[in-house]
């Protein structure tokens, strides 16, 4: 039975506490930014391997000095591409080279596994996984997070992780919300079943339109468009049609992998998902095929230049939402200071957030 330390504010505190100056951290190139921040705060040397490429990880581990401590850190579900870490292969490598594994299950907890316990349960490797980090802010709809591992490791973190020592406790209401959400997860498994039905349906629908969803196999479903300007214009057209997705460009993803990040909830209805599919189809018809589609995903495409530093000012201002900026628009909308035709479907307990379907405010 793993011991759990809650209230720890993120991976940087855990990684920087565990890995010292004589240690090595092996980090997937597509890991979440919080993992990257943790490796930078640590005094350990960081060695990056190609995304979810266990062959490349094996080469990096084999080339490493045998007398150094080794920590492999990876997302359970990768937050942009929606694929699942190859944990069985990673475990075999860790055992072979004497490494430990830290999983970031922010997007997997409540989603993967027979009981929603995350990536390790999904692969049947809970006892073999050294540390699992999770958040309360996604499936549990609260704030805060946890790290689970052996008692000795958790006791060490309690006295070593600066982000824990110098932080305050969770608000009681937030902690109570987490407990209530866990109860829902345990008692209502039909929510997870519905979540997977919705995710698989939308992934198939988007691929049927010829869109590239990469290697996604979870409720995180990227639509890889392959060009920065095209991505933002596509996002704007979707928004005006009542669908909100997240545009993602370099440096969050490599240049040429510009995408719209969609994800789905158990509470999305068939009618809402059909609406989202139809809006994608309408924007595709209006804008034409993107630089990257299913037909081109296997071909070698030149990486698009990163134009974020020299966009024309007119185009940049065109992307701003009503009210002068995205922040001011959403803050004003939340406070009721402006009229907006949209409001998001709120995430219910144990739902996976967002490609938020927008509903008229007066419904």
- Active-site residue among 32, 70, 91, 107? 107
SS3 for the chain, per residue? CCEEEECCCCHHHHHHHHCCCCEEEEEECCCCHHHHHHHHHCCCEEEEECCCCHHHHHHHHHHCCCCCEEEEEEECECCCCCCECCHHHHHHHHHHHCCEEEEECCCCCCCCCCCCCCHHHHHCCCCCCCEEEEECCCCCCCCCEEEEECHHHHHHHHHHCHHHHCCCCCCHHHHHHHHHHHHHHHHCCHHHHHHHHHHHHHHHHHHHCCCECCCCCCCEEEEECCCHHHHHHHHHHHHHCCECCEEECCCCCCCCCCEEEEECCCCCCHHHHHHHHHHHHHHHHHHCCCCCCCCCCCCCCCCCCCCCCCCCHHHHHHCCCCCCCHHHHHHHHHHCCCCCCCEECCCCCCCCCCCCEEECCCC
Active site residue 107: yes
Q: Name the catalytic one among 32, 138, 163, 216.
A: 138
Q: Which of 16, 34, 42, 79 is catalytic?
A: 79
Confirm whether 79 is a catalytic residue: yes
Q: Which residues are catalytic?
A: 79, 107, 138
């Amino acid at each position: 039975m793993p011991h759990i330390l809650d209230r720890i504010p993120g991976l940087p505190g855990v990684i920087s506490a565990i890995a010292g100056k004589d240690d090595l951290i092996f980090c997937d190139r597509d890991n979440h930014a919080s993992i990257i921040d943790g490796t930078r705060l640590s005094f350990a040397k960081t060695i990056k391997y190609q995304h979810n490429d266990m062959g490349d990880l094996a080469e990096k581990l084999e080339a490493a000095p045998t007398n150094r401590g080794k920590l492999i850190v990876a997302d359970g579900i990768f937050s942009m591409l929606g694929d699942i870490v190859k944990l069985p292969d990673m475990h075999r490598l860790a055992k072979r080279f004497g490494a430990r594994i830290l999983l970031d299950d922010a997007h997997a907890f409540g989603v993967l596994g027979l009981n929603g316990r995350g990536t390790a349960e999904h692969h049947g490797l809970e006892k073999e996984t050294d540390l699992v980090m999770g958040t309360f802010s996604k499936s549990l709809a609260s704030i805060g997070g946890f790290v689970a591992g052996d008692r000795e490791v958790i006791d060490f973190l309690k006295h070593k992780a600066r982000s824990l020592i110098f932080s305050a406790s969770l608000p009681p209401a937030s902690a109570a919300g987490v407990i209530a959400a866990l109860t829902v997860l345990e008692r209502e498994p039909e929510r997870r079943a519905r979540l997977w039905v919705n995710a698989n349906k939308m992934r198939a629908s988007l691929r049927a339109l010829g869109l590239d969803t990469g290697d996604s196999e979870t409720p995180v479903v990227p639509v890889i468009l392959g060009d920065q300007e095209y991505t933002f214009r596509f996002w704007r057209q979707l928004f005006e049609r009542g669908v909100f997705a997240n545009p993602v460009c370099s440096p969050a993803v490599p240049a040429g992998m510009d995408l719209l990040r969609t994800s789905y909830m158990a509470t999305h209805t068939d009618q809402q998902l059909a609406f989202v599919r139809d809006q994608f189809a309408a924007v595709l018809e209006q804008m034409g095929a993107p630089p990257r589609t299913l037909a081109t995903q296997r071909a070698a495409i030149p990486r698009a230049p990163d134009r974020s530093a020299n966009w024309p000012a007119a185009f940049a201002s065109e992307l701003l939402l009503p009210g002068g900026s995205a922040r001011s628009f959403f803050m004003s909308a939340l406070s009721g200071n402006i009229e907006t035709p949209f409001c998001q479907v709120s995430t219910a307990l144990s739902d996976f957030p967002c490609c938020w379907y927008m509903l008229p405010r007066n419904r």
